[in-house]
Amino acid sequence: MKTDRPKNLNLMQIRLPLPGFVSILHRISGALLFLALPLLLSLFQRSLADPESFAELRDGLAGPLPKLVMLGLLWAWLHHFFAGLRFLALDLHWGIGLVAARRTSWAVLALSLGLFLALGASLW
């Protein structure tokens, strides 16, 4: 039996379906949140130390670069949250069909990006 399968896959040429794209973004956002956790915990600890350190931290995070980092973490949290709910539903065998999987993937993207834009605009 001869197959015409490629021996070396070019990952840049593979068209990923939307649920696969959401899954990869879920993993990326989870890794980003995990790596940012020590930074976030240290910022939280500094903010609770005393009023002076809170004021210093607030002034330090007012610049454009820290705001972009915080906005990136906001997107990561929102996407990871909604995609995680989608994966919990898939574990319970809800929305396993092709049409439902595509709809829930669009819902994850719409909810995470919509809330990101709304919250990001109010925080900027």
pLDDT in tens, 92-114: 999 999 999 999 999 999 999 99
Q: Is residue 81 part of a domain?
A: yes
CA-nearest of 81, 68, 65, 66 to 25 is 81
User: What's the domain count of the chain?
Assistant: 1
- CATH code, 59: 1.20.1300.10
| Low-confidence residues in the chain, pLDDT < 70 | 1-2, 5-7
Question: What whole-number distance in Å separates Cα of residue 13 and Cα of residue 90?
Answer: 28
Question: What whole-number distance in Å separates Cα of residue 79 and Cα of residue 110?
Answer: 10
Q: Is 32 left (phi over 0), alpha (psi -120 to 50) or beta?
A: alpha
- Give the per-residue pLDDT at 50: 95
Q: Is residue 54 part of a domain?
A: yes
Q: What is the pTM of this model?
A: 0.86
- Give the per-residue pLDDT at 6: 62
Amino acid at 105: S
